[in-house]
Amino acid sequence: MKFNRSNPYDVAKKLLKEKYSDVDVAFIAGSFNRGEETNYSDIDLVVVFKKVEVAWRESFIYDGWNVEVFAHDPETLNYFFWEFDAKDGVPALPCMVLEGQCVPVDHPLGFNLKSLADRVLVQGPPVWDDETLNSYRYSITDLIDDLRDPRSKIEAMATIGKLHETLGNFYFRANNWWSASGKHIPRRIFKLDPELGKRWADAFEKSDTSGIEAIISLAEEILQPFGGFLFAGYKRISKNDWRLKLQSFQPKSAPETSEFILNKEERFIDHSILGKIEVRVANDNDVSKLRSLLNLSYKKLLNQGLNYNATFQDDSLTLDSLHDGGKVFILELENKIIGTMKMKNFNQVSTSRCLYISRFAVLPEKQSLGLGNHLLKLAESIARREGFTCMQLDTAQSAKQLIEFYQTQGFKIVKPIYYDGKTYLSWVFQKNLLGLT
């Protein structure tokens, strides 16, 4: 990326040395991490001390950049994650930590805090109840009625501005997605649904009659699955308790109908160069070694700005992956894990039974020896034996080498997908399994 000012990463690192040299770890965040920067973008800097009396936020100009600093220790950061951002439905601080460049890059606390941020995003925002849905339907209906016959252009513009926020928030939250505000609303809609994002931009960019008609049509389309516009018959009764209790993290698990059992021939590989490699299911005793393998294998992708979970996950998140549905397989050579993949019964595209592959990795020094091919062949063998109709996996749209590899293995792109907190968009790949055995 090109900047008319000094490189933001260099500026932030210089600032850390001059003003925050005693922090344990920091995260350099901002729109430049996602390639969305402008000449007036600022630097968001999350600094984490060992201990602070109170968390704080401060803003200033440094080396030509507007800088916003969010100062915490691990406990205050944890509090802000769950008590503010999660409950509000707009996960700004967790996204800063998850998307941000960690300084120093390999600090264990950085892995811990990125894993914590991912935990917040994976759990998702509080689900709206019928009362909240109806309240928003009513508010949007009221704004649309104001827009149908505005008394002046300035009132129409004010209504459009309010409707942009309200309708955007409804679209995200009614569908149980994290929300956004202001300029981030169209950006997020484009990521989740590019076609809707284009129509959203076309409608709100216009201030004439055609633009107003397009906005009304958009509102009608977005509200329709939830009952449409609402005015007549609406009644709101206050409740005694308006609080949402803090919920502890519960790993999401899908019911598994497959046991993913290895047959005798699949338990070992007689490799022409490496020798005898054991293939087995990972257990809790493998967590540290497995986490280390994933961190190392995905480091090249991290250097490309792609924040896959495997680039930062700690032992805790790795342990979770062993118990949230499916099975994790490993390749073990002389008591060292040199390859891994996770398999589960999941389909991103349809309701048919599909084997989904994730956390796919081979130790860097053991790559180009056919181990990745063997893992995918193993997955296909199990999938066919256990009656799956297809195999799926996903990867970043900019990971060209991985895309080419999966395509040589018979996988085809079937849909784009966006995961919260990621600096990239992904492709979902599918390989149909014909002639099941």
437: number of Cβ within 10 Å: 7
384 vs 249, more confident? 384
pLDDT in the model for residue 239: 66
Identify the bridge partners of residue 355 per DSSP, sorted by sequence position. Answer: 345, 391
- For the chain, residues classed under CATH 3.40.630.30 are 264-432
Q: DSSP string of 173-198?
A: HHTT-----TTHHHHHHHHH-HHHHH
- Confidence check: pLDDT of 3 > 60: no
Of 318 and 241, the structure prediction assigns the larger pLDDT to 318
| Confidence at residue 434, expressed as pLDDT on a 0 to 100 scale | 77
Distances, alpha carbon 165 to alpha carbons 153, 170, 202, 234, in Å = 19, 9, 16, 22
pLDDT at 244 over 70: no
Single-letter amino acid code for the residue at 420: D
Task: Calculate mean pLDDT across residues 224-231.
Answer: 96
- Contacts of residue 168, defined as CB under 8 A and 6 or more positions apart, other chains included, come to 179, 180, 181, 185, 189
Distance CA 124, CA 176 (A): 7
**pLDDT given for residue 240 in this prediction:** 80
The pLDDT tens digits for 372-414 are: 999 999 999 999 999 999 999 999 999 999 999 999 999 999 9
- What are 61-90's pLDDT values in tens digits? 999 999 999 999 999 999 999 999 999 999
Q: What is the C-alpha to C-alpha distance for residues 353 and 237, in angstroms, rounded to an integer?
A: 44
CB 342 within 8 A of CB 352: no
Q: What is the CATH number of domain 264-432?
A: 3.40.630.30
With a cut of 60, say whether residue 138 has pLDDT above it: yes
Tell me 81's DSSP state. Answer: I
Q: Has residue 252 got a pLDDT over 60?
A: no
pLDDT at 256 over 90: no
Task: Please give the order of strands across the beta sheet that includes 101-103.
Answer: 56-62, 65-72, 43-48, 25-29, 101-103
Q: Average per-residue pLDDT in the chain? A: 92
Are 417 and 428 in contact by the 8 Å Cβ rule? The answer is: yes
| Amino acid 249: pLDDT | 42
Please give the C-alpha separations between residue 13 and each of 101, 102, 105, 187, 436, in angstroms, as whole numbers: 10, 10, 12, 28, 55
Mean pLDDT along residues 194-208: 90
Long-range contacts of 269-276 (CB under 8 A, 24+ apart): 269/331, 269/374, 271/369, 271/370, 273/369, 274/333, 274/338, 274/366, 274/369, 275/333
List the structure tokens of 318.
């790795």
What confidence score (pLDDT) does residue 435 get? 62
Q: Which band of pLDDT confidence, cut at 50, 70 and 90, is reported for residue 247?
A: low
Q: Please provide residue 267's backbone torsions phi and psi, each rounded to the nearest 5 degrees.
A: -85, -10
pLDDT at residue 40, rounded to an integer:
86
The dihedral over CA atoms of 247, 248, 252, 257, expressed in degrees to the nearest 10, equals -110
3-state secondary structure of 82: helix
Residue range 298-321, pLDDT digits in tens? 999 999 999 999 999 999 999 999
Q: What DSSP designation does 367 have?
A: T
**Any idea how long the chain is?**
437
Q: Has residue 132 got a pLDDT over 90?
A: yes
CATH class of 8-123: alpha beta
Q: DSSP 3-state assignment of 232?
A: coil
Place 39 in a pLDDT band, splitting at 50, 70 and 90: confident
Flag the least confident range among 102-116, 324-338, 422-436.
422-436
Calpha distance 153→259 (Å, rounded): 64
C-alpha to C-alpha distance for 36 and 57, rounded to whole angstroms: 23
What is the pTM (predicted TM-score) of this model? 0.80
Can you tell me the distance from the alpha carbon of 1 to that of 427, in angstroms, rounded to the nearest whole number? 23
- 5 — pLDDT class (breaks 50, 70, 90): confident
User: Which of 15-19, 255-259, 312-316 is predicted least confidently?
Assistant: 255-259
| CATH 3.30.460.10-classified regions of the chain | 8-123
